[in-house]
Every structure is written in C-alpha cells, then in structure tokens.
A and B are shown apart, each in its own frame.
Chain A
Amino acid sequence: MRLPSWLRLPQQTLLRHALFAVAGGILFYNLSINTSDFQQIRFAQVAYTLIAVAGLTVLVGLNGQLSLGHGALMAFGGYTVALLQKDRPTWPLWLDLLLAVLVTAVVGAVTGTAAARLRGPYLAGATLALAVGVPGLARQYFEGDTGISVPLVGSPSFLPSLVGERWMAWFSWAAALLTLVLLANLARSRLGREWQAARDDEIAAALAGIWVARVQVIAFVVSAGAAGLAGGLLAVVSVGAKPASFSLLLSVGLLAAAIIGGLGSLIGALWGSIIIVYLPVWADDLSRNFELPAKVSDNLPLMMYGAALIIVMLLAPIGIQGTLYRVVRLFRRDRVRISAAEAVTGSAPEPAPPTGSGPPAAPAAPSTHAPAAVPATPSGESAEGTAP
C-alpha cells in the first residue's frame, strides 16, 4: 500500500534526516517535561552513550573495524573539556565540546592510521590495550585518581527557570540528535558506501578505485569525534573527568550496546544505549525486592546484567533493530519488492562479519550448520602450518 506522495517521506537525505531529528526532538521534549528532575540525568546519560555507541556502530557495523577502546577515546574528550573548564573558565561549553571533538578526532586519526593494517582480533587486541593503557596514563599525568573537576551545570542564562538537570538533558539530546543526523547522512553518502564496500570485500573495493586505507582512517576519525563529544558530555554530567569513569567496562559496554541494538543501525544504537544505561538500574531495583544475604544481593545486579547480555544475543542475534526489522517485514504486503532485494544479496541479509579481512571465509567455527558460501581455500588471514 503506497502512501500518497505528500505523506511520504522526502527522498533527499538531509531533509529526511532533519525531519526525523525534529520529530525525535519533539518526542524527547514531551518526555522531558513530564518526568522528574532526577530522570533528566538518566536521559542525559542515554544521550551521551547514544553518541558514542552511534559512532562505534558506524565503525564496526558499516566499516567492519572492531574497536574495544572507545572508552579511552571518550577519556580524551572528557579530559579536554575538564581541562578547558578549569583553565579557561570563560570559554562557553559548546566551544569546549567542539574542541573535545577535534582533539579526539586527531587521536582517532593517529589510532586509525596505526590500526589501518590490523584486522580482526589484532585490531581488538590493540584497541583493548588502548582501553586499558589510557586511563593509566591519565592517572599518571593528570590529577591521578581524583581527576579534574568540572563545575556543576546550572540553569542557562537565557532560561533561568530551567532546572540545571533538565538543561543538561536538553543540550545532551540536542547534541545526540545532531550527531545522529550527521552520521546518518554520512552513512548514506558516497563515503558511507565506500565504508561498506571496504568492509564487504577489501580487494574488490580497491579494484573499484576506493582508497581503502584512507576510507578506514576516516571511519576511525568520525567515530572518534563522536566518542570525544560523548566523553565531554560525560565529564559534564559526572561533574569531572576521572580515570575510573573511563574504564575497560565502559569500552566493553559500548560495544555490547552497539551489538545488542543492532550493528550498523543508528536506531539500534538508541536501543543499546537505553539498555546499557537502564539495565543496571532495573536489576538493582529488582534485586532489592528480595530479602537476600548481602553477598548475594550485592552481586545480583551484575549477574542479571551478564545474563541479559547472553539472552539478548541468543534471542536476537542480529540485534534488536535487526529483529524488529524482520518482524515488521513479516507484515508488509509488498513482499515482492523485498525478496528481489534479497535475491540480489543472496539469502537473508545477515550483517557481514566485521573482521574486515579479505573475502568472507568460514568465519565461525566449523559446526553442523554450514555457513552460506564457503570458499574452498581458507582465507589469508590465518597462517597455515605454523608451528604451534
């Protein structure tokens, strides 16, 4: 059933995404004014998590490069904002955040260049070391564990009746929507297609004239910029930049959010962020309802968090957005159109294994379920006959 032309979404990318952003903004505004002051902080947390996860999902989902170190990149943004607020208190916050984006983008360029030749688990290992090493360096060269304080955000001068928390939530979400529009536009642009081409088949992409290394570094830069903005907002909301705020748990949580939400999908980033922020809260509330010995009740929220990660992955292996998409498709009448697309891509559209190396060889372990197309020779990423 086709909607009349004036009711359909515009075809131009920017307009269409801007429309979504405005709609999202209106929805959020309504949500915000109808909830308590306290909830605003959670909304702000979801907002900056969303920014970081969106950047990460673009890097991992669209471009196929794995990063376990986005928490460390957020640290660069957070410390930049904190240092600027301390040493240049007259500069406005938006300027501090912009500089945080730039600084982290530069770090992303360096990291991306260093990581350009790395694939799969080696990239994972390098970014993991980043996630662990950077907080240690921050501890060493800045104020150790105490970190650098950021003054508590108060009401803005042009809206003095607005409570500080609500203002924090509003500008965090404004930043988040802006980031989403930018990332969505990039994803649909030529650059976005180049990213996906590099992810799907590096050699074919290179043959088609794409400068693969450059495109991959740009993906890192974009994703790092988003992480920098997110880190800066985290420092503002948490009233300070401290090493313990940017731990390995944060990096891992971001990746989990991206995958659970649906890799490569910006709306998926929203689902993942909501889950990552609210799941510990729900788990905590739930465990308080039972009268349990201290040992058990202290650790129950953590256990629920871990269980939730596993359960979601088993039930929705292509992420929440992927599963929603499949469910919706079951109800669509115009199946013909879709199965044509499916026929072109071959079987159900699975997200490509983002190890980013060569032709998609048998990525998973050989098991009783044979993957779709298995080349006869193993991919070049693994060594043959190495001494064990």
Chain B
Amino acid sequence: MRGFHRLRRTSLVPLAVGVALALAASACGTGSDNKSNSGGNGGTASTPGVTDTTILLGSHQPLTGPAAPGYSKIAPAAQAMFNYINDNGGINGRKITLKYVDDGYNPTKTVDVTRQLVQQDHVFAMMAGLGTPTHSGVLDFLNQNKVPDLFVASGAAKWGDTPDKFPWTTGYQPTYVIEGKIIGQYVKQNLAGKKVGFLTQDDDFGRDFVKGADMYVDPASVVARETYTTANTNISAQISNLKAKGAEVVLGAEIPAFVALTILGNLAADYHPQMIVSGVGADIPTLSGLLESFAKQGGKTVKGTQLIEGLMATGYLPASTDSSNSWIQLFTKVHDKYISSIPFDGNVVYGMSQAYLFAQAATRAGKDLTRQSIIDAVEKGGFTGPGLVPFQFSKTNHNGYGGTQIVKISGGLANPQGTPMVTDDGSGAINSYTTQQPAAPANGIPVS
C-alpha cells in the first residue's frame, strides 16, 4: 500500500499490538489444551483416553465438501451404536464416546485434526478414519506414537498388509483387490465369452479393483477401460465409449452417486449392459432414493428400485433392506432410538458394524484396557458378527474382512448368487465360505 512504504520510519506500535494479539491467540489455544475433556483425559498416566468408566475414541471423517455425501452418516451411526451399548451397561463397565472431527477430505486437514485428537484430546485410539489419501497422511504419525489405529474405513491394502511396518493400524472392509478378484471370478465362471468393459474411479479404489478383476477376467474379452474422476459428474463420454465398443458386461468401481449416474446414462443412451459393481457403490436405499425421481415410464411413476433391477454387486454385510436379518433388526432399533432423523441405509449399517466390532475387541481386552491389549485382542481374530465373511486379523495380517458375496438386486432386495467367497490380496485362490452368520445379541452387547 502506498501509504506504508513512503514513510521512512516504521511505527512499532502496530507491530507490538499485533504481537500481543498473536500471543493472546496462542494462549487461547493452550487454554483448550489444559481444559479437561469429557471422556477420559485423566485416567492412568500410561493409557490415555481410558478411565474406569469411560473410553474416548477419535475419528476423522468428511462431514463437508464434495466427498461428504453418504459418508457423513457413518460416524453418527457408530456413535448411536455406542450409545445403545452404553445404555445397556457399556463394555466392562466403561461407556464409549466417539469424537469425530471433519477433515473435509483434505489430507492437510486430516493431519491437523488427527494430531489434535491424539495430542490435545488424548484419545485412547483412532477408529474408522475415512479415506485413502486422507488417512495415509497420518499412518506414520499414529504408528510412531503407538496409537491404535483401528478399522480404517477404506479398502486399500496398505492398512493391513504390513503389520511389521504399521503394527498399530488395522483395516476393516475387504480390500478392493479382493472385491475385484471375486467379481472377476464370477464373470469368468458365469459370463464367459461376453465383452467386458470397466468403469472405475480414477484412484486406488479403481486401480486395485481392476488389478483384482484382471487376475480372472480373460484379457481378450476386455474391450474398454473407462475411468471417471469425482470432480466431474458428466460421464456421458465414458458411457458413449463403452457402448461404442459393445461392452455387454460393465464392471464398476464407483461410489453410489456415480453408479446412479451410470444407470441414468445407460438409460439415456439406450444401453443395457449387465452391470456388476463394487459393494462400495451398491447400497439399495441410497441408489433407489437417488433414482426414484427418474423412474417414469409412460407417464407413470414407478419405484426407484425398478431402475436397479438386475444390478449385480457385492456385499459383506447384510443389505440394509433385509429386514428379516437379526442384525438389521438390531441396527434399525438403535437407529430409530438415537438417529431417527438420518435415513437408514448401508452407511448406517457400516458405521454400526464397526462400532460393534470395537465393542467386541474391547470386551475381549478385558478390564485392563491398554493400547497394547486392544491390538492383541484384534490380532486374536475370529470375531463373528454381522459380517457374511470372516476377518483376516492375525499377528501377521491386519486386514479386515477377507471376502465378499455376489448379489443380484431384485425387488429392492439383494439376492445372494452362490455362497460368500474368501480370498487374499495376492494370487491366492478363492474359496467358498459357508459358516452361517450368528444371530445378533438383543442388547447389542457382544458375547465375546
């Protein structure tokens, strides 16, 4: 500004005033450092976040911004499950609180909020941190500081494949490679000879999915490999390409919004491939909710579920519309009591299942709950719960669910095609898994 630099003498007063303000500002920051937080800032010096009656967990979630739709429900659902468990006595006499903070899916902010949760709020453990680019920025920090980093909400393989490098981190959902493999095998066994196209998200999700599928799908049958980026919702060009190349089967690694866009785009182009999509994008209430307004046929409005009739997908948890399933009944009860204003869909089931898994691990760890003991509890593995497939947790493998189930959506329900399948991230074979899912405990408290 002209005024400043003309004068030879700089006044120190504005600088002094400003410095005083800066010091005051940081004092506000330190003030909140010293403020004791609800949920176990005290407790034993060696185990932060745990007192005799409380456990404090932390999580980073995209609550705002372009990545937020759908995912912003997961953490409130988990907290609702914890509330239900707390109301029924808690785990080993302790009530669980989940403090989840918005990172807007911005990795820089994730680093900031995670450090805040660990160093300022002194959480016992991080749980269900969401997002691959976001969470990969805090992996080193959490492991160096020996903070349990449980059940990362992403299907990347890096959370669980190297427990020697990241002993405090565990995954949760089946990795995208596993999903791709199982879908690829289905195509090979049931749709051999048909032309195959891919429509995948342009990041690790899509790439890992394709890697898995390519292990089984005949390369000669792949006619198109299209990608999309979440920044651009106009995918008419990609659909046009798939149609032009004549793909009869389209394998999709897409988030729900883009599955809906693909279905609409296919309709607009009068293109009717068999779509098989990753479970990530296949939640029935979400999809039919998004598509319902478009299901007009001959002037009559039909239900949105009509538009996803015949869509094939994967799922490792019971579908949110399966009201005969005891776990869905439990989750619906919890939802109606604590978060009834949020629509009940697959994200809610996901969040509650994660909360239940933590409750199982904490129960197993026992009264003497330390950061090491929760990791040991997870590594013992063998948890049975809402999942249709088993966990891979062990001392040498920190990956979560080890498989998934192919389903075909019909009449708003997910009809299983064959049995659930289990496999690994690498070249291991795919095997059937036929053990039945246990019934849900009535009060939500895990038995073991």
Contact = CB atoms under 8 A, between A and B. Distances in A.
Interface stretch (A106-114, A208-216, A265-273): A265-273
Contact of B108 (A27, A238, A263): A238
B32 interface: yes
A328 B11 CA distance: 8
B72 A294 contact: yes
Contacts of A34: 30
Contact of A301 (B102, B119, B202): B102
Interface of B: 1-15, 17-19, 22-23, 25-26, 28-30, 32-33, 63-64, 68, 72, 76, 101-102, 105-109, 111-112, 115-116, 119-120, 132-134, 136-138, 140-141, 144, 202-204, 207, 229, 231, 341-342
Contacts, number: 169
A341 B105 CA distance: 50
Contacts of B140: 149, 151-152, 239
A302 B112 CA distance: 17
27 contacts: A8-B9, A9-B9, A16-B10, A20-B15, A34-B30, A39-B29, A41-B111, A42-B29, A45-B112, A61-B1, A136-B231, A145-B204, A146-B203, A147-B136, A152-B141, A240-B107, A240-B136, A240-B137, A244-B105, A244-B106, A244-B134, A294-B76, A298-B64, A298-B102, A301-B102, A345-B2, A351-B1
A188 B5 contact: yes
Contact of A274 (B8, B17, B25, B106): B25
Contacts of B15: 20, 267
A242 B137 contact: yes
B14 A325 contact: yes
Nearest to A45: B112
A196 B4 CA distance: 12
Interface in A146-170: 146-147, 149, 151-152, 165
Contacts of B107: 147, 238, 240, 242, 244-245
A41 B137 CA distance: 14
B145 to A, nearest CB: 10
A381 interface: no
Nearest to A249: B106
Interface stretch (A94-102, A117-125, A316-324, A367-375): A316-324
B231 to A, nearest CB: 7
B20 to A, nearest CB: 10
A345 B4 CA distance: 12
Given A294-B72, A349-B2, A239 B111 contact: yes
A324 B76 CA distance: 44
Interface residues of A, number: 78
Given A38-B115, A38-B120, A145-B132, A239 B141 contact: yes
B137 A239 contact: yes
Interface in A316-354: 318, 321-322, 324-325, 328, 331-332, 338, 341, 345, 348-349, 351-352
Contact of A267 (B6, B18, B136): B18
A235 B10 CA distance: 35
B56 to A, nearest CB: 14
Contacts of B7: 338, 341
Nearest to A240: B137
A146 B108 contact: no
A385 interface: no
Interface string A263-285: 11101001100100010111011
Contact of A39 (B12, B19, B33): B33
B13 A328 contact: yes
Contacts of A242: 107, 133, 137
Contact of A196 (B2, B133, B342): B2
B1 A146 contact: no
Given A45-B112, A146-B204, A35 B106 contact: no
A89 to B, nearest CB: 14
Contacts of B2: 196, 200, 345, 349, 351-352
Interface in A221-252: 234, 237-240, 242, 244-245, 247, 249
Interface centre among A136, A244, A270, A321 (most CB of B within 10 A): A244
B119 A147 contact: no
Contacts of B105: 244
Contacts of A293: 341
